[in-house]
A and B are shown apart, each in its own frame.
Chain A
Amino acid sequence: MWAGVLGILLSASAVARPVSYTGGWTLIQTANRASTAGLLHYSVSHKVSVGVRHEWQRDDDVTLTVIQPTFLAKRWYGHNYQANVYLTGGLGTATDRSVASVGSDTASFVGVMTDWETRTLFVSYEARFLEQGKLGNHSMHAARFGWAPYAGNTGELHTWLMLEVDHRKHFDNKTTVTPLLRFFKGPALFEAGYNVTDSAPMFNFTYRF
């Protein structure tokens, strides 16, 4: 069962911290070389969140609006680490906003995200397969490696140096590299980076409440 579902989903996408504590809300904004997106989700339990995602794929000028459930399939708890496997999906509408618009179509995606982190080391992998009917299909894979030069305590500013490698089959530069800085304090997380392959900035923001 486990292996089957994970196998199916190993072509999918997700977002950092996609499930919060029971009753918690999270706002996640991302902007990278491919898209600008926002996700607002509510965690019905510490394992399941349901949210609304709006995404603008800038190259194609296509917008995507979906309902996005996310499931914490597995969490490993250690004295010095935490590791997670999340499964996610989305169902909604994609709309072509370009001058030569071909209209709208039903859109859906499946995704998986895994991460392992200590207070000074971070590794993650995520993937997404998006199907938008006549507006085309996209797949994305991304891996991250992070290192914190110091272990910040509660409420202090946490700083991370990270490197993201992503692969998007429908782009001219299929595989690119983005060095970035992550700043983390209390309920807010901010990331700023620059895709050195595609010459594009990256800005991500997450707020938990």
Chain B
Amino acid sequence: MKNIILIVTVTLASLPVLADDNQKVMDHHDPHETGHSEMNHGEMNHGPEHSPESHEHSTEDAKEDVMPMSAASITTTDDITAALANGGAPVVVDVLGVVCDFCAVAMNKIFGKREEVSALYVDLDKKTLSLVVNKGASLSDEDIENLAKQAGYRIAAIRRNAEALGG
């Protein structure tokens, strides 16, 4: 019993260390990690509110960012069509790791809580999150990245406005 308690204690004590290790990998944009470093910033339309200073990428990062990306347009649902008709701004997010309905539920729960979001839909076929941001509101790329992370996923690219509509 003492051994088990010791193992559990060591395990629990190690969790923050492991978490930190993982975080460091993400922060350093390890090429083996499929995460933010895979975002194709060269081809992304960050929208008018995007600040180039908001992401710190080295030249090496930029090389890593170059990868083929699908350019799926927004998935239209009744809610999304209505939100667009009300003047909302379309956003399409390519999401990594979404393979099941639990993934969709997680994204819906996390993004659906945001007041800036008037409609959303996770499309497993396209592997995208379609969002409509309320007229006059803004949801930065960093916000989207953080929300996706809270849901347990990573994003590969963000398209806004005309590009999100497939234009």
* A residues neighboring B (CB under 8 Å): 1-2, 5, 8-9, 17, 19-24, 45-48, 69, 71-82, 87, 89-91, 106, 108-110, 117-119, 129, 131, 133, 151-155, 158, 184-187, 189, 208
Contacts and interface: CB of A to CB of B under 8 A. Distances in A.
Contact of A154 (B21, B121, B151): B121
Interface stretch (B7-15, B44-52, B78-86, B134-142): B7-15
A75 B151 CA distance: 13
Please report whether the interface of chain B is mostly helix, strand, loop or mixed according to DSSP: helix
A117 to B, nearest CB: 6
Nearest to A185: B101
A155 B96 contact: no
A131 B149 contact: no
Interface residues of B, number: 45
Contacts of B22: 47, 73-74
Given A22-B151, A46-B152, A151-B125, A91 B8 contact: yes
B127 A108 contact: no
Nearest to A45: B150
A158 B127 contact: no
20 contacts: A9-B11, A21-B106, A22-B150, A23-B150, A46-B152, A76-B34, A76-B97, A80-B99, A87-B11, A108-B4, A117-B99, A129-B4, A131-B1, A152-B101, A153-B124, A155-B101, A158-B100, A184-B100, A184-B102, A187-B102
